[in-house]
């Protein structure tokens, strides 16, 4: 399961001006979710709700007002694992920095504690 190119206006950064101005982050999520039963019955009720995943990611990022993209990635990963009982998740957070001519990004992979 993947959700790609999720654009989220967010307050993120360490500098004062970053704490006052929304910047657009771009997130991608890959997750281990067994699609076999949904595919076998062509049953949406057995599938993972991609819109719910996207809403969860947006809520975590916008409410968090994090200083670091690393923190945003960690919180998103944990929230998705908890909310959707995922066995594994990869989260990429991309922060374009046009004034400096580059893009900062972090990608993490997480599993639930104890698995």
Sheet of strand 89-97, all strands in order from the earlier edge strand to the far edge: 2-10, 23-31, 89-97, 102-110
Q: Give residue 30's domain range.
A: 2-110
State yes or no: pLDDT of 114 exceeds 80.
Answer: no
State yes or no: pLDDT of 99 exceeds 90.
Answer: no
The two structure tokens encoding residue 98: 């046009």
pLDDT, tens digit, for every residue of 2-40?
Answer: 999 999 999 999 999 999 999 999 999 999 988 888 899
The answer to whether residue 100 sits within a structural domain is yes
Nearest to 108 by CA among 94, 98, 100, 96: 94
Work out whether strand 23-31 and strand 102-110 pair parallel, antiparallel, or are unpaired: unpaired
pLDDT of residue 61: 98
The answer to whether residue 115 sits within a structural domain is no
DSSP secondary structure string, 49-82?
-HHHHHHHHHHHHHHH--S-HHHHHHHHHHHHHH
pLDDT of residue 101: 95
- Domain count along the chain: 1
The answer to whether residue 75 sits within a structural domain is yes
The CATH number covering residue 34 comes to: 3.30.1130.10
- Give 113's pLDDT tier (boundaries 50, 70, 90): confident
pLDDT, tens digit, for every residue of 77-94?
Answer: 999 999 999 999 999 999
Statement: the pTM of the whole predicted model exceeds 0.75: yes
The answer to whether residue 77 sits within a structural domain is yes
pLDDT of residue 35: 87
Q: Are 8 and 61 in contact (CB under 8 A)?
A: yes
């Amino acid at each position: 399961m993947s959700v790609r190119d999720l654009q989220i206006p967010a307050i993120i950064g360490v500098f004062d001006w970053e704490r006052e101005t929304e910047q657009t982050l771009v997130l991608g999520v890959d997750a281990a979710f067994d699609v076999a039963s949904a595919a076998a019955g062509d049953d949406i009720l057995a599938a993972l709700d991609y819109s719910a995943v996207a809403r969860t990611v947006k809520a975590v990022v916008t409410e968090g007002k994090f200083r670091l993209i690393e923190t945003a990635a960690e919180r998103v990963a944990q929230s998705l694992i908890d909310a959707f009982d995922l066995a594994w998740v990869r989260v990429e957070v991309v922060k374009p920095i046009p004034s400096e001519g580059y893009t900062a990004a972090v990608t993490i992979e997480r599993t639930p504690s104890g698995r």
